[in-house]
Amino acid sequence: MSEAPHVPVMLPEVLAALKPGKGQVIADGTFGAGGYTSAILDSGARVLAFDRDLTAIEAGRERFAGHDRLVLIHRSFDTLSEEAAIHAPDGLDGAVFDLGVSSMQLDQSERGFSFMRDGPLDMRMGDGVSAEKVIAELDQNDLKTILWQYGEERRAGQLAAAIVRAREKAPITTTGQLAALAGPQRPKDKIHPATRMFQAIRIFVNDELGQLVRALMAAERSLKPGGRLVVVTFHSLEDRIVKKFLAIASGNEGTGSRHLPEVRRAAPSFILENKKALAASEAEAAENPRARSAKLRAAIRTDADPTLWARDRLQSLGAPSLVFSDLQERWSQHR
Ligand SMILES: C[S@@+](CC[C@H](N)C(=O)[O-])C[C@H]1O[C@@H](n2cnc3c(N)ncnc32)[C@H](O)[C@@H]1O
């Protein structure tokens, strides 16, 4: 199925933070190639494993056929609370998320995730609207917003204009055509000039940051007191959301401004396991390039009520405003 199997990132650190064991129920929000799930099953725990990618779920069904402690769920991980209510009515002992795409997804050129491999401009992890449709139909300003907010791309305006000019001549249907608009990689470029553009469009197509925010809230609702949340992120947009979410939920956030009135804080719903994010060991980073940007954050659920995530609280998560916009919502509802 893939050229290089997906190597699980920071597995020892994930297990140390999650502490799975016999009799527990753990949700693995991102099943992928089943690296984490397999290790959690070895601990004796039951696993509810989610993946929105049918290929990942089908490969998992084959690999773990007949395993009676595993439930494979072909849904997005923001449905965690619904599924936990069915499969773990007493609550979860742990939830883990290993964000982003798997090596299998990147390696399959027909999935359209990689600017290094020419393929159809798709980028969908699951259902929904393809990158081809996004590139064909959004106006220049919306394209610029996506590239700027989800890619932190300094040339957002320039690239959005290049997309519109190119599509007026001929439809953009392949990853190669889109990547070419960013120009060739020059010796002084640390990363390929199409990297940020591809990241931005992939995040938009899959509503990745909205999924993350909803999944964190779902984990807060579904973890038992003492239950453990572990999140591995791969870029600063993701990590910022997890960091701020846990800071607010654990009562470790500042008021942000000395002019704001002191708000009466609710009892913390999480205790941070580590103040700072953990990184992969040097040995792992040398071995697996994907691990170099990984950051792990973990927290333990208390018995306090879940945080009230009103709109202004959500806005203080440091997520780009596009996450909560009509544009993102409209395009995610196409799915
Ligand atoms: C980095 S891989 C996970 C690898 C896994 N930890 C392992 O050890 O094999 C991420 C996986 O999560 C899935 N995924 C990403 N976002 C998702 C979401 N919102 N809901 C469900 N699955 C998601 C992707 O389809 C991909 O298969």
* Minimum-distance ligand 1 atom for the alpha carbon of 126: 25
Task: Check if 77 has its Cβ closer than 6 Å to any atom of ligand 1.
Answer: yes
pLDDT of 118 higher than 90: yes
Phi, psi of 312 (to 5 degrees): -70, -30
pLDDT in tens, 261-286: 555 578 999 999 999 999 999 999 99
CA distance 279 to 320: 24
Give me the pLDDT at residue 260, please.
53
Q: Who contacts 188 (Cβ-Cβ below 8 Å, separation ≥6)?
A: none
Q: Whose CA is nearest to atom 26 of ligand 1?
A: 32
Give me the pLDDT at residue 1, please.
43
Say if residues 10 and 85 touch (Cβ distance below 8 Å): no
Question: Exposure pattern of 83-94 as b/e (b: 16+ CB <10 Å)?
Answer: bbeeebeebbbb
If one counts every other C-beta atom within 10 angstroms of the C-beta of residue 268, the result is: 18
If one counts every other C-beta atom within 10 angstroms of the C-beta of residue 67, the result is: 15
Give me the pLDDT at residue 311, please.
85
Give me the pLDDT at residue 256, please.
55
Task: Check if 51 has its Cβ closer than 6 Å to any atom of ligand 1.
Answer: yes
What percent of the chain lies above the pLDDT cut of 70?
Answer: 95
CA distance 263 to 261: 6
* Minimum-distance ligand 1 atom for the alpha carbon of 215: 19
Give me the pLDDT at residue 312, please.
85
In the reported structure, the alpha carbon of residue 1 is separated from the centroid of ligand 1 by a whole-number distance in angstroms of 16
Task: Check if 207 has its Cβ closer than 6 Å to any atom of ligand 1.
Answer: no
Percent of residues in the chain assigned helix, strand, coil, to nearest 5: 45, 15, 40
Give me the pLDDT at residue 258, please.
57
Higher pLDDT, 1 or 260: 260
CA distance 184 to 153: 16
Fold of 112-207: DNA polymerase; domain 1 (1.10.150)
Give me the pLDDT at residue 253, please.
82
Residue 315 pLDDT class (50, 70, 90 cuts): confident
Task: Check if 195 has its Cβ closer than 6 Å to any atom of ligand 1.
Answer: no
Give me the pLDDT at residue 133, please.
97
Phi, psi of 98 (to 5 degrees): -125, 95
Give me the pLDDT at residue 333, please.
76
Mean per-residue pLDDT over the chain, rounded: 94
Mean pLDDT over 134-144 rounds to 98
Task: Check if 210 has its Cβ closer than 6 Å to any atom of ligand 1.
Answer: no
Q: Whose CA is nearest to atom 27 of ligand 1?
A: 32
* Minimum-distance ligand 1 atom for the alpha carbon of 35: 8
Residue 2 pLDDT class (50, 70, 90 cuts): very low
- Pick from 101-110, 129-138, 259-268 the range whose average pLDDT is largest: 129-138
pTM higher than 0.85, yes or no?
yes
Tokens of 115: 């600017």
Residue 255 pLDDT class (50, 70, 90 cuts): low
Task: Check if 34 has its Cβ closer than 6 Å to any atom of ligand 1.
Answer: yes
Domain segments of the chain: what residues? 11-103+209-328, 112-207
What percent of the chain lies above the pLDDT cut of 90?
Answer: 86
pLDDT of 87 higher than 70: yes
Task: Check if 128 has its Cβ closer than 6 Å to any atom of ligand 1.
Answer: no
Q: Whose CA is nearest to atom 12 of ligand 1?
A: 30
pLDDT in tens, 13-63: 999 999 999 999 999 999 999 999 999 999 999 999 999 999 999 999 999
Say if residues 105 and 125 touch (Cβ distance below 8 Å): yes
Mean pLDDT over 171-180 rounds to 97
Give me the pLDDT at residue 264, please.
57
pLDDT of 324 higher than 70: yes
CA distance 119 to 240: 32
Q: Do domains 11-103+209-328 and 112-207 have the same CATH topology?
A: no
In the reported structure, the alpha carbon of residue 93 is separated from the centroid of ligand 1 by a whole-number distance in angstroms of 20
Best mutation site among 7, 26, 31, 58 for ligand 1 pocket (most ligand atoms within 8 Å of CB): 31
Q: Whose CA is nearest to atom 15 of ligand 1?
A: 100
11-103+209-328: CATH, from 3.40.50.150, 3.90.950.10, 1.10.3720.10, 3.40.50.300: 3.40.50.150
Mean pLDDT over 154-181 rounds to 97
CA distance from start to end of the chain? 26
